[in-house]
Structures are given as C-alpha cells and as structure tokens.
Amino acid sequence: MFLQRLNPSLKALTILLFVVLLALIFDPITPSLFLIWTVSITFLFGKVAWKKYVLYFIPFMIFAFGMLWTTVIFADAPANKNDILLIFGMEYPRESILTALALSLRVLNVAALSLLFIFTTNIAHFILSMMQQLRLPPKIAYAVLAGYRFLPMMRDEIKIIHDAHRVRGVNQAKTIKEKWNNYKRYSIPLLASAIRKAERTAMAMESKGFTGDKDRTFYRQFTIRKTDWFFPLVMLIGFTTAVIVSFEMGFLKIFS
C-alpha cells in the first residue's frame, strides 16, 4: 500500500508537524474534521486491520473521555450567566464544554497520527532512514535497533526458562505473590542470557568492521522521492480544509 512505501523519516516529520499544529488549535471543529481525515487516509492508503486498530485506539478513547469529563467538572463559573449549555439536566459553561472537546479531540488526533505511523512503518527501515536522511549517528541507531531486536528474543527466553522450571517440578504460580516470586527467580538466568547475547552481538558487529563511522555505506538505500511528498500534501489539504470550515462556522480558535 501507499503509506507503507513512503520514506519513513519524511512520514515521521510530517506527523510531528501536524501534532505541533494541532497543539495550537483550541476549537472542537478543526480536530474533529482532521481526525476523520486521518483515519480515512489510514484505511484508504494503508493496509491496516480495523479490529487491531480499534483495539489500540480504545485506551486513547478512555483517556480522552477522562480529560473531557475532568475539564468540564472542574470548570470555572461562566462570566456570562446566559453562556451555559444544558447536558443531562445539568448546566455547564459553554466555553468549558468547547475547550474540553478540543482537548479530548486533540488527544484522539495524536493517537490517530501515531497509529498511522506505527501500523504503516517498518521500524528497521525507519532507523536506517533516520541514519541516511536525518544524519542519526550509527552508534545510537544500531544500539536502538539491537534493543528492538532483543525484545522478542527475551520473550522467547522467558518461555524457555518457564518450561525448564516446569520440567524440574517447580510449582505453578496461582496467586499474584507467587507469580511475582517466579519472575524474580527468572531474572538471574534472563539477565545472564541477555549479557551473553549482547556480547555476541558486539563481537559480530566488530568482526563485520562496524566502527560507528558516519560515512559508512548502506546495502539498503532510502531516498525521498517525488511521490513521497504526496503524503504531507494530502495531510496539509485535510488540515487546511478543517481550519477553513471551522473558521466559516465561527468556531476557529488559535492559541495566542
């Protein structure tokens, strides 16, 4: 799909730019329209499973609802007694309602932009692209990449240690305290295994001639093509349209 083929660094910078722009908006119309635009772009141009997307999006919805609720509940009394909204039989300041909606929708927008990047980007490609386009030092990049590669290996190592304990007749944990004691018992062999793997990785990198030089060559080259600029252009069109609609409706409010 199109989003998966984009240059990862340009995609990340585009998303970061619109996160900053959204932080300057304090009306509910602009972020709500841009949220619809972002989710639509994600599913139209990226191969994303909607069930997985919804599962990851739910925690952000809960957090956004909590922010909405607390902002409304702890709002100050309105300066104008007539500037109130009646919701479920209770009166709330209109300005506080709009601010609460703007803040919660901003959270959802950041979540949607983040999930767009996560579900359509290969992390290894992103690290390589940062080295080539953003001049990230190879020592830092490969350290991050090695740590990322170790995570699934550590999960498998825990399973191996767990199975080894079962073979030796160690009782299975049932309570939270017993599970905590089990994980403490796993920590020493897990740490020893991690140190051995780190040493092997360091030796392998040294034997392959890795010195951390910034002028190193790359087997997999990443460039910014003309088609990559289509993504920031599409996102800019959506954001601009949302701002114009909000302005025409009289809701646009920018930080000042």
**pLDDT tens, 13-62?**
999 999 999 999 988 999 999 999 999 999 999 888 889 999 999 999 99
pTM over 0.85: no
Residue 90, H or E segment:
strand 90-93
**Contact present, 117 and 15 (Cβ < 8 Å):** yes
Q: What is the pLDDT of residue 86?
A: 60
**Contact present, 162 and 195 (Cβ < 8 Å):** no
CA-nearest of 205, 107, 108, 95 to 149 is 205
CA-nearest of 97, 83, 26 to 246 is 26
Q: What is the pLDDT of residue 97?
A: 79
Q: For residue 170, which phi and psi values (nearest 5 degrees)?
A: -70, 135
- pLDDT tens-digit map of 204-255: 777 766 666 666 677 778 888 888 999 999 999 999 999 999 999 888 888 7
Q: Where are the domains of the chain?
A: 2-126+223-249, 138-207
How far is the CA of 113 from the CAs of 117, 122, 142, 255, in angstroms?
A: 6, 16, 26, 21
Whether residue 67 has pLDDT greater than 90: no
